[in-house]
Chains A and B, each alone.
Chain A
Amino acid sequence: MRDFLIAIYEKFLRSVAQIPSNTVTTWRNDVFPLSLWLLLAISILTAILFYFFYNRLYSSYNSFGSWFRTFLLNGFITGIVAFIITYSAFSKAFKPVLTLSLWYAVINLLYGLLLFFVLSLIFKWFSTNGRKTPF
């Protein structure tokens, strides 16, 4: 798990900014795991709501436009949630990790988009109205 988190988050963060050495433990123990779980939870919940709730209530929700808006929304939510997690973790000394936190939010946004896309490809097969969404 730890290696997985390092692979998907830390390596990416290190490639765009310097992680202060005194914060590495907090990132690894607090920020990454919570972000990942929330990323999964939010994306799954959004996909479920999209495919099995809104699509059942409103057939027009299965348009590509609706899917794309939900896709972006999911990305932004996961990004914002990641930023809030870092802020909570480093609230006493947030300024040194601000840039890093923003990059971290962007990474989560991208992962959110990717995950929602993958979940869409799975969930659509089980949705009556959304089985052709996004394509």
Chain B
Amino acid sequence: MSSKNNLFIFGIGGTGTRVVKSLIMLLSAGVKINAEKVVPILIDPHETSDEYRKVKMMLEQYEKNFQHAKTTGSSFFSTEILPLGKLHSETVNDTEKIDNSFGLNFSKYAKNTFEEFIGYNKDMANQDQALVSMFFSEKDRKSEMAVGFRGNPSMGSVILNKLEDSEEFKFFKRVFNTGDKIFLVSSIFGGTGASGFPLLLKNLQNAGDNIQKAVKGAVSVMPYFKLNENNDSFIDSNSFITKTKAALSFYENQLKGIDELYYIADSQLAMHNNDEKTQENAAHLVEMMAAMGIVNFTDLPKGYDTNVASTQRDANFHECSVEVDNKELSLYNLDEETLRIIHKPVIRFLFLTYIYNNLGRKADSQPWFKETLGNEHEDSFKKGNGDFEPLVKFLIDYNAWLRELGVKERKFLPFNVDTDMNEWIVDHGKIVKKSFATKFFNQRLSDDKINGILNQEAKNTKIDQKGFDKLLELMDRATDSIYTKYFKI
């Protein structure tokens, strides 16, 4: 099978990981991306962070859900996301295979402290030690690599320079086909992302003809949060703007080889807890919009001259803006193009979540339940195990992500599920008003109405065998029907 038009996404640093997470969420909901396969490669030395591990786990759950979606033709989880190690190529022997992880195995390359990595010890010449000391404080030199570069790009640039020697990068070079695209995600104000982006780009330019010529995009995330004061932390968010300016001036003259460069930032800076070990930052709209940059990149109808290296082509620049400068944004405050792309998927996924987690639990007597699950799958469905487990776990993460988007400014609050179901979509004007007639003729959306839609659609499902695949097909049809009847714009 051809592996043409794959999209390799390098998620560099904490922000890179979080943007990839947002992309997974959007793709799970059914946002379409113009690529046959999406291959995320997370480059984050902070492999022990909860966020990094969670994203890796989510990608694994997504992969399982995708297999079911492929069988059912469901629009949820319809894009194939797979780890680099699972990409097949005629040029790769079995002995050259790498593990099926979504991340670069950093712990293999950057162990212990920074000074151990650079060989700063008694064997190092005094002059060299003095030179290193000029650039790196003792605190920096003795810092553990396992928690990232703590907002210090100079450290990151030393370590990430070894990236091209990694098994994963070598494997990437072998499986990359002409026509595949590359996208790099990083922050400009931190450590890993700020240093990793230009270094990775440099490595890509030396990684072979087809990679040199490949169409490349990148999103550079500028400050969108700040950290509270913490004297024990290496990171000082007061330097974010200065670092951004420095990096931008570097990019202006030195950054070559990106065809489409996206910039995003937010003036409403969310305040996060300054804990470099956990970095438990809530998901943010900026990350979601950066993920939309990746979608936009694959959709651009431009023709690129791929007979020359990308460094020979002119770069295009993109920025993102919202319609209003509010502290809280709804779906309808997003730009028209973004709204067009995500409106249907996110609303459908909202109802998938609701049906699965709420309505389905008490739907034993419903024909759709009996015909789709029956007694044999009822238990697995309700307990969320067996075939249902990846979806259940994914829905938990999806809901947490959605909730987090509404926690820190600038808040993204697309839904208000504490209200009547017909008004869940914030700012959606066209709702069926409450009246005796609409009640009598059962025109408003309700549990009864959703069950009715499910019962109707259950008659149209193509999969005969009861179980998860049949349920996924039913959910696909029913949520489409709900969207079309009640929330279409």
A interface, CB within 8 angstroms of B:
56-60, 62-64, 128-133
Contacts and interface: CB of A to CB of B under 8 A. Distances in A.
28 contacts: A56-B442, A56-B452, A57-B442, A59-B366, A59-B447, A59-B448, A59-B451, A59-B452, A60-B365, A62-B365, A62-B366, A63-B365, A64-B365, A128-B367, A128-B452, A128-B455, A128-B459, A129-B366, A129-B367, A129-B451, A129-B452, A129-B455, A130-B367, A131-B367, A132-B365, A132-B370, A132-B371, A133-B365
B456 interface: yes
Nearest to A135: B370
Given A62-B365, A131-B455, A133-B365, A57 B448 contact: yes
A2 B371 CA distance: 45
Contacts of A131: 367, 455
Contacts of A56: 442, 452
Nearest to A64: B365
A64 B365 CA distance: 7
Nearest to A66: B365
Contacts of B456: 128
Contacts of B366: 59, 62, 129, 132
Nearest to A65: B365
A132 B375 CA distance: 14
B487 to A, nearest CB: 20
Given A59-B449, A60-B448, A62-B367, 15 more contacts: A56-B442, A56-B452, A57-B448, A59-B448, A59-B451, A60-B365, A62-B366, A128-B452, A128-B455, A128-B456, A129-B367, A131-B367, A131-B455, A132-B365, A133-B365
Interface string B437-475: 000001000011101100110010000000000000000
Interface of B: 365-367, 370-371, 442, 447-449, 451-452, 455-456, 459
**Interface class of chain A by DSSP:** loop
A130 B459 CA distance: 13
Nearest to A61: B448
**Interface class of chain B by DSSP:** helix
Nearest to A131: B367
- Most chain B CB within 10 A, of A62, A64, A128, A131, is at A128
Contact of B448 (A58, A63, A64, A133): A58
B367 A132 contact: yes
Q: Which 7 A/B pairs are nearest by Cβ-Cβ distance?
A: A59-B451, A63-B365, A132-B367, A59-B448, A57-B442, A128-B455, A131-B367
- Most chain A CB within 10 A, of B365, B455, B456, is at B365
Contacts of B449: 59
A62 B365 CA distance: 7
Contacts of A128: 367, 452, 455-456, 459
A59 B448 CA distance: 5
Contacts of B455: 59, 128-129, 131
A46 B461 CA distance: 31
- Most chain B CB within 10 A, of A58, A64, A129, is at A129
B371 to A, nearest CB: 7
A68 to B, nearest CB: 12
Contacts of B447: 59
Contacts of A59: 366, 447-449, 451-452, 455
- Most chain A CB within 10 A, of B367, B449, B451, is at B367
Contacts of A132: 365-367, 370-371
A128 to B, nearest CB: 5
B108 to A, nearest CB: 56
A59 B478 CA distance: 15
Contacts of A60: 365, 448
Nearest to B451: A59
Contacts of B442: 56-57
B458 to A, nearest CB: 9
B421 to A, nearest CB: 14
B478 to A, nearest CB: 13
B438 to A, nearest CB: 12
A102 B62 CA distance: 67
Nearest to B439: A57
A63 B366 CA distance: 8
Contacts of A63: 365
A55 to B, nearest CB: 9
Nearest to B448: A59
A128 B449 CA distance: 11
A54 to B, nearest CB: 10
A131 B449 CA distance: 16
Nearest to B442: A57
B374 to A, nearest CB: 11
A57 B441 CA distance: 7
- Most chain B CB within 10 A, of A56, A57, A59, is at A59
A56 B370 CA distance: 18
A13 B452 CA distance: 45
Contacts of A58: 448
A131 B451 CA distance: 13
Contacts of B370: 132
A56 B442 CA distance: 8
A133 to B, nearest CB: 7
A130 B451 CA distance: 11
Nearest to B370: A132
A132 B449 CA distance: 17
A124 to B, nearest CB: 9
A125 B70 CA distance: 32
